[in-house]
Structure 1
Amino acid sequence: MEAVVKKFPEPADKSDDRPSREEAEAAVGTLLRWIGEDPSREGLRETPARVVKAYEELFGGYKLQPGDVLGRTFEDVSGYEDMVLVRDIDFHSHCEHHMVPIIGKAHVAYLPDDRVLGLSKIARLVDIFGRRLQTQESMTAQIAAAIESMLRPKGVAVMLEAEHMCMAMRGIRSKGSTTVTTAFHGALREDRELQERFLAMAGRRP
């Protein structure tokens, strides 16, 4: 099986614009004081450092680009031309409006055109975009566009189903409400029957 590697442009280096870890921890301390807490009390003394460390993991998607995980495809598909679907990919993201969690599942499919991706790459791609400040609509479009750009398949379909804590924890406080977004490219955009197959395979009847 021969692998094909595609290069992606390197992201712009914004390291000079980033505050230091000490500045980030000080910002957390400021927020603690703003909500009425005392950052010097025993239970909160290490909280700024813990929050900054957690943010490094939660927002680690900014350190990676799609090409970091989609840089290799395989040409030996033995004549396979049908839909490839990876469904029920768990993801966690954060709303860019309130910086509270978005928790959901992604279903990603494509129609191969001579090349395929390693299946774990699709889950890793979802994780990259999830570990950024997002809107669900943007994240759906970004996943679909990355696969189309890298793989050049006949078609791509992406569905995200997620609960937004900005609705459950604040504002309307609607718990259990799920938002569904989709993106269809190529043949999966043009062919309603293919769309219905994707929805059925993903476990959601049209």
Structure 2
Amino acid sequence: MTIANANTGKEGFLNLPDNAEERIAGHVRGILEALGEDPGREGLLETPQRAARMFLDVFSGLYEDPARHLEKQFSSDGHSGLVIVRDIPFRSTCEHHLLPVVGKADVAYLPDGGRLTGLSKLARVVEGYARRPQLQERLTDQVAEAIWRVLHPKAVLVVMRAEHMCMTVRGVKAPGAETVTSRAMGQWADDAAARAEVMALMRAG
């Protein structure tokens, strides 16, 4: 993902400024003041710094290429069956309201008979892309495209299910509403029956 920012590095990811924490803390302090609060009172005295560290943590995916985790590969020993990792938990942040998005991802790919990656690497890819200001639709595409680009499988399918706090705590206030997104690539993009079979396996049990 290319980020439009003066501090964007050559690979399109942000370079973290040395004074990022202090700058963020200053803005949080300003928000508290604009709300009519007193950032100097005991309960809020350390809040700007805590919030700054929180933002740097939850948006840490801006400063890395999550696809790099997939470069750790090993021989498939001829295995050509599909690989599925279900119910990968993820936490992201809605880029429209900066509120949490909490959900689970199902990731499947069909090896080409050559190379596999560690199961935990798939979870790390999900986590890396989730730790950014996101749209669930974009997040789903980024995970699928990274697997397709690095592992060169015959097929990829990513399904994500999540609850968006911007729908729960504000606006329509619809707690429990779940958003489902998917992205299929390769053979599963063109074969609806095969795609349906994989999705059934994702939800089996």
TM-score (norm 1): 0.89
Aligned-CA RMSD value = 2.0
Deviations 1:112-150 (A, max 9, x none): 011111100000000001100000000000000000000
Moved more, 96-105 or 192-201: 192-201
Query: Could you say which residue in structure 2 is the equivalent of 1:165?
Result: 165
Q: CA 1:13 to 1:177, structure 2 compared with 1: closer, same or farther past 3 Å?
A: closer
1:19-50 deviation line (CA, Å, top 9, x unaligned): 64222111000111122211010000000000
The one-letter code sitting in structure 1 at the alignment partner of 2:36 is G
In structure 1, the gaps of 5 or more residues are 1-8
1:5 equivalent in structure 2: none
- Corresponding position of 1:145: 145
* 1:10 positional shift: 5.8
Calculate percent identity across the aligned residue pairs.
Answer: 41
Q: State whether residues 13 and 62 of structure 2, in contact with CA within 8 Å, keep that contact through their aligned partners in structure 1.
A: no
In the other structure, the counterpart of 2:191 is: 191
Write the distance in 2 (CA, Å) between the matches of 1:103 and 1:116: 28
Partner of 2:82: 83
Shift, 1:18, TM fit: 7.8
Question: Quick check: 2:13–2:63 contact (8 Å CA) kept in 1?
Answer: no
The alignment status of 1:45 with 2:42, answered yes or no, reads no
In the alignment, structure 2 segments of 5+ residues that lack a partner are 1-8
Q: Deviations over 1:93-121 (max 9, x none)?
A: 00000000000000000000111111000
Query: Residues 104 and 16 (structure 1 numbering): CA distance in 2 closer, same or farther, change over 3 Å?
Result: closer
Partner of 1:57: 57
* Alignment-derived partner of residue 125 in structure 2: 125
Deviation at 1:193, TM superposition (A): 2.1
- Tell me, in whole angstroms, the C-alpha distance in 2 between the residues paired with 1:49 and 1:128: 23
Report how many aligned residue pairs link the two structures: 196
Q: 3-state SS of the aligned residue for 1:116?
A: strand
Cα distance in 2, alignment partners of residues 39 and 170 from structure 1? 25
